[in-house]
Structure 1
Amino acid sequence: MASGQVKSAAFVLLLLNLLLYFIVTVMAVWAVNHAIVRSRKTASVLTIPARIFPIYFPVGNMATGFLVIFSLIAGIVGMATSATGYLNVTDGKIQNLHAAAASSLVTLFLTFLAMGLACKEINIGWIDANLRTLEVLVIFVSATQLFCAGAIHARVSEVATILNIYGSGRV
C-alpha cells in the first residue's frame, strides 16, 4: 500500500472516530443526566440491596449503568486520542506515530470493553430506543477504531521501514 493511501485512510478514520466518539459521549452524558434526575423517585421504591447499588439507572436493565459509564470513559478518551492522533499522523515523525499507535490501542481496548457491555445489555434485553442507539454506536465505533488502529500501525511500520532503508529523518 502506498504511503499516501495509508496516511489518508488514517486521516479519514481519525476524523470519523472523532465525530462518532463525540456522539457516544453526548448520548452517555444524556443517560447519566437522565438517571440522576429520575433515580431518586425510582430508587425509593426498591428494596435495600437495589437501592444502595452504586450504578442504578431507571431506564434499561442492570447492565445499563456499566455500559453508560464505560461508554462515557471510552468516548472521552476516544475524542482525545482521535484529536491528538490526527496531529501526530500529520506530523509524520516516527516518535509521534508511535505515540498515536499506543494511544489508539488504549482507546481500542476501552471501546472493546464498552462494546462487551453493550452486547451484554442486548443479551439481557428490556431497553428503550435511546439506549439501543448508544449500543449500536458503541459497537460501530469499536469497529472503526479497530480499522483506525490498524491504519496507524501500518503507517508506523511503513515509516520505520523507510527510515531503516534511507536513514533517519522526516518522512
Structure 2
Amino acid sequence: MGSSGAKPATFFFLFVNLVLYLIITIIASWLVNHGIQDSLEQASVLSIPARIFPIYYPFGNMATAYVVIFSLLAGVVGFTTSLTGMSHAAQWNASDLYAASASSLITWSFTLLAMGFACKEIDIGWSGSTLRVLEVALNIVYGTQLLGMIAIHAGIEELSRYRGGIV
C-alpha cells in the first residue's frame, strides 16, 4: 500500500480526542448534576428571565448554563465519533475514511459551538476553577479535532493517489 504516514497521525489524534472528550463529558456531567441539585432552592429567588432556564448555576455567570450543556453535547458526540473513527481508521479504506471525515466534521462543529459559548463566558467575567478546566479542555480539543480532520483527509488523499485517483 505504500507509505502510510497519515494512518499513525490519524490514530494519534483520534486517541487524544477520545481522552479529551471523555474528560469534557465527565466535567460537564458533574456540572449539570451540581446545577440540577442546586437549582430548586437557588433559582426561586431570581427574576423571571433567569428563572426560565431550568438549570441555575450558583457559580460562573449567565453564560455558564449554555457552556455546560453544549460542552456535554460536544463531549458525548465527540467521544462517540472518536471511538467509531478509530474503528473506521483501522479499516483504512475510502468509504470508512469518508464516514470518519463526515462525523468528525459534525463533531468539530459542536465543539466550535461549545467553545464559542466558553469564549463568551470568559468575556463576561468570573468563572470557577472547574469551569476554567472545561474551557481549556474545549480550546485544546478544538485544535486536536481540527488536526484529526486534516489527518483523515490526508489519508483519503493518500488512498486516492495510491489507487490512481479512483477512490
Q: What TM-score, normalized to structure 2?
A: 0.94
Aligned to 2:83: 83
Aligned to 2:109: 109
CA–CA distance in 1 between the matches of 2:144 and 2:99?
19
CA deviation after TM superposition for structure 1 residue 33, in Å: 0.3
CA–CA distance in 2 between the matches of 1:53 and 1:71?
17
Amino acid corresponding to residue 142 of structure 2 in structure 1: S
Structure 2: tracts of 5 or more residues without a match: none
Aligned to 2:35: 35
CA–CA distance in 1 between the matches of 2:19 and 2:111?
15
Are 1:84 and 1:100, in contact at CA under 8 Å, matched by a contact in 2? yes
Give the direction of change, closer, same or farther, for the CA distance of 1:92–1:28 in structure 2 (3 Å limit). Answer: same
Deviations 1:98-146 (A, max 9, x none): 0011111111111111111111111111111000110110111001000
Query: Over aligned residues, Cα RMSD in angstroms?
Result: 1.5
Aligned to 2:140: 140
Aligned to 2:62: 62
Aligned to 1:120: 120
CA–CA distance in 1 between the matches of 2:52 and 2:7?
50
Amino acid corresponding to residue 9 of structure 1 in structure 2: A
SS at match of 2:104: helix
Q: Percent identity?
A: 51
Asked whether 1:130 is paired with 2:158, we answer: no
Are 1:115 and 1:139, in contact at CA under 8 Å, matched by a contact in 2? yes
Are 1:3 and 1:155, in contact at CA under 8 Å, matched by a contact in 2? no
Aligned length: 166
CA deviation after TM superposition for structure 1 residue 94, in Å: 0.8
Amino acid corresponding to residue 6 of structure 1 in structure 2: A
Structure 1: tracts of 5 or more residues without a match: none
Give the direction of change, closer, same or farther, for the CA distance of 1:81–1:3 in structure 2 (3 Å limit). Answer: farther
CA–CA distance in 1 between the matches of 2:135 and 2:73?
14
Aligned to 1:95: 95
CA deviation after TM superposition for structure 1 residue 43, in Å: 0.7
CA–CA distance in 2 between the matches of 1:120 and 1:22?
23
Aligned to 1:6: 6
CA deviation after TM superposition for structure 1 residue 160, in Å: 1.6
Are 1:10 and 1:148, in contact at CA under 8 Å, matched by a contact in 2? yes
CA–CA distance in 2 between the matches of 1:101 and 1:53?
35
Are 2:70 and 2:113, in contact at CA under 8 Å, matched by a contact in 1? yes
CA–CA distance in 1 between the matches of 2:98 and 2:22?
24
